[in-house]
Amino acid sequence: MPGRTHTRRFRLRRASVPAARHHAEATLQDWRLAELAAPVALVVSELATNAVVHAKGIGEFFELTLRRREGVLVVEVSDSCRWRMPEIAKPSPGADHVAGRGLLVVDAITQAWGVRPREEGKTVWAHLALRG
């Protein structure tokens, strides 16, 4: 089943974050990749939240793309915000807030992640290894 791709568009609003997460989980179930549901749900939640928080007011939608390739599952979240490229924040020790740690989580549970500009906006991508 290599080479499968699925893209869905969501409105830039907080309610879309769990909707995107559930959609990713259902897609993985259909693709018989349920063992990746938990880490992918976490990655989708973090990337979709970043899109909602940072791209709101710039566009109306973000897109979630899941792509199965040889040995890897690619998760992509694209939005219209091109001025602010995401980067890992280094929280100070003893900080009493948890905001800004999402990409640290993504970095910890994926093989690789990054961002690429698009003509209108950017795409943040993450790779997770497929087993077997």
Cα 27 to Cα 73: distance, rounded to the nearest angstrom: 12
- Average pLDDT for 109-126: 92
pLDDT band at 94 (very low <50, low <70, confident <90, very high): low
Q: What pLDDT does 121 receive?
A: 87
Length of the chain in residues, anyone?
Answer: 132
**Helix or strand run (H / E) with residue 114:** strand 112-118
Q: What pLDDT does 120 receive?
A: 84
CA proximity to 64, closest of 109, 113, 120, 20: 20
Q: Where are the alpha helices (DSSP H) in the chain?
A: 16-30, 37-55, 102-109
For 5-129, CATH number?
A: 3.30.565.10
Q: What pLDDT does 118 receive?
A: 86
10-14 long-range Cβ contacts below 8 angstroms, 24+ apart: 10/48, 10/61, 10/62, 10/63, 10/64, 11/60, 11/61, 12/51, 12/52, 12/55, 12/56, 12/59, 12/60, 12/61, 12/62, 12/79, 13/52, 13/56, 14/52
What tens digit of pLDDT does each residue of 5-51 get?
999 999 999 999 999 999 999 999 999 999 999 999 999 999 999 99
* Unique residue bearing structure tokens 């992640």: 113
Cα 50 to Cα 116: distance, rounded to the nearest angstrom: 15
